[in-house]
Amino acid sequence: MKRTMQKSLAVLLAVVMTFGALPLLSVGFFAFAADRLDTITAISLSFSEETMEAGKTKEVSVSGSYTDDPKSAPIPISDVWLSSSDPARVKVENGVLYALEPTETGKPVTIHAQLKDKPSMVADAKVYVVKAPVPVDRIEWEWDTNAFLADTGKEYSFAYVEGASNNVYRIYPSNADVKTATLSCFPTDALEIDNVKKTFKVNKLPAGKEKLVVTLVLKADGASAQCKEANKEVTVYNDVPITGIHWLFSVGSTNKTLFKFYESSGKIATYYYMPTVLGNPKAPFKYETIPANENFLELCEITVSSSDKRIITFYEPTGQIVPLGNGEATLTVKIVTPKGKTYTDTVIGVVQGSPYTAITSAVIGYDEKNTDSDAEYDKESNTLTLMYNHGIQLTANLNDGASLTTKGVSVQMDDGTKKSMRTPEITWSSDNTKVAEVDENGKVTVRMKGTATITMSINDNGKVFEKEIVIKGTMTWWQIVLYILIAIFTFHWGKVKDPF
């Protein structure tokens, strides 16, 4: 019992001593802090000058120097006031700097620190904000050629000039911060490249008909060491001069000669045409430079033409000549070299034995059997009179006999020869659709009293014929009265303003 009481007294004494000492300890601590504040001689920021990229952040700390301690000691950031001379460019919050906008050249933002309990203790630091680098997204070749003529010793530039229209490459985005743009090639010894001058030249020019295929590799090193590249394959040719170009023809069938070509003093190429499907068979055509150099042709601008496409035309996707009708046409091949020199060659193509005949004349007629009213035609005035709300079928009368009533139908001659014409393209139009309308097949319908000119346009493989006929719309007295009554009614309700 006695021991238990002794233990209880000991615990009670310990508690009293502990809690009784706390105020004494607190007084001692604050007295120490006050002593440290009295001995402080200066404060400083963790940097005196700093450059930051826009959009970046940085923590800042403050240290103090004391008379009784040669080493500086950190000061809690909560005991310091921090401010910025330009918060729109650099903001400071809770000891963190936020770089917002680039600073003007030579004009930094000042970060000011002041000790709360001793306002005389201040420190400043400078902050410069620079634009954040824009990385390269991609690089693309702008060089629109896949082949070029190389001159001995000539330097070709691949330098980029802002705003120029003839740059050989382009970097995206346009505001990317590019450190360098370099060129390399494969084979590595094919070109002599100077990435300082941004030029290259061919080390060894191909001879004659030979060609050199080079893979160009363009690399752009952007911000943050990002690298993008673009490859382009080009063919290099030696600039072998030519003196001209001439046609080459070949026979077009294995089982029967459909075309026969020959050249004489007049340079005549003759085609014998088989009576098969229109436009077939076709004959291949070629041309060749003098001296012959097929590789050189890849660099030239070449056109072929016919003086009369109704007789002979070209189907260039497959490189073939298409005879269409009997007669003659001059065929011309024209070549323009990369240096602007022009050469031509012509032959006369003669098509014989074709069952198709070209259109030589066209007039507008009408089908008396295909009309829903009496029609009166005045030849002197070329006027066809029709009743209101009735119609008539116009026709295209071709070559003084053949009749074509609808677009897309081939017809025969009326002279008994049974020669068919090629189907032409026919379009119909009216200059006054209020009076007379015409559909794509030439069907005319009169809509009101008055006159309208109907135009027929025929395109026979490039040759156009145009003919006109005047349509005069008439009405009986009761149709006029009824039409006026309907017009007054609709005019009253605002549906039409001028029925006539």
More confident residue, 165 or 135: 135
pLDDT in tens, 1-26: 444 444 454 544 444 444 444 443 34
pLDDT of residue 388: 79
Res 286: pLDDT:
78
pLDDT tens per residue, range 442-486: 889 998 889 999 999 887 766 788 899 999 988 777 766 776 776
CA–CA separation, 141 and 216 (whole Å): 10
Provide the CA 59 distance to its chain's centre, in angstroms. 48
Per mean pLDDT, which range of 25-29, 180-184, 350-354, 489-493 is the poorest? 25-29
The pLDDT of residue 268 is: 58
Indicate whether 187 pLDDT > 60. yes
**Average pLDDT score over residue span 289-309:** 84
User: Whole-angstrom distance between the N-terminal and C-terminal Cα of the chain?
Assistant: 134
Average pLDDT for 135-159: 83
Residue 260 in tokens:
């026969």
State residue 209's pLDDT score: 67
Q: Tell whether pTM > 0.85.
A: no
Q: 266 or 122: which carries more pLDDT confidence?
A: 122
Is 331:348 a contact under the CB 8 Å cutoff? yes
Mean pLDDT score, 303-330: 80
Put residue 267 in one of left, alpha, beta given phi > 0 → left and psi -120 to 50 → alpha: left
Mean per-residue pLDDT, 420-429:
72
